[in-house]
Structure 1
């Protein structure tokens, strides 16, 4: 089983979820960094 979508409609569903996951992950890392090292921000 491949993790990548074979059809355009599958890719259209996967891409927003991927972007949302990356955004949420980035915000989480940023929040953790601010909480751990507030003097740098």
Structure 2
């Protein structure tokens, strides 16, 4: 039973990890974009 359930568990964990990485990446890029206008003289 453990061998059957294990792949589904790892797939679910990988999806969660990928989602967290995507959220972090998006927030990082948004923070960089939001910070850019402050560094550039208008």
TM-score, normalised to structure 1, is 0.68
Task: List structure 1 segments (4+ residues) > 2 angstroms apart after TM superposition.
Answer: none
Q: Deviations over 1:4-37 (max 9, x none)?
A: xx71112111011011011110000000001111
Structure showing greater Rg: 2
Larger helix share, 1 or 2: 2
RMSD: 1.8
Higher normalized contact order (CA 8 Å, seq sep 6+, divided by chain length): 1
- Mapped to 2, the partners of 1:23 and 1:12 lie a distance apart of 16
Which residues of structure 1 form unaligned runs of 5+? 1-5
Number of matched pairs? 34
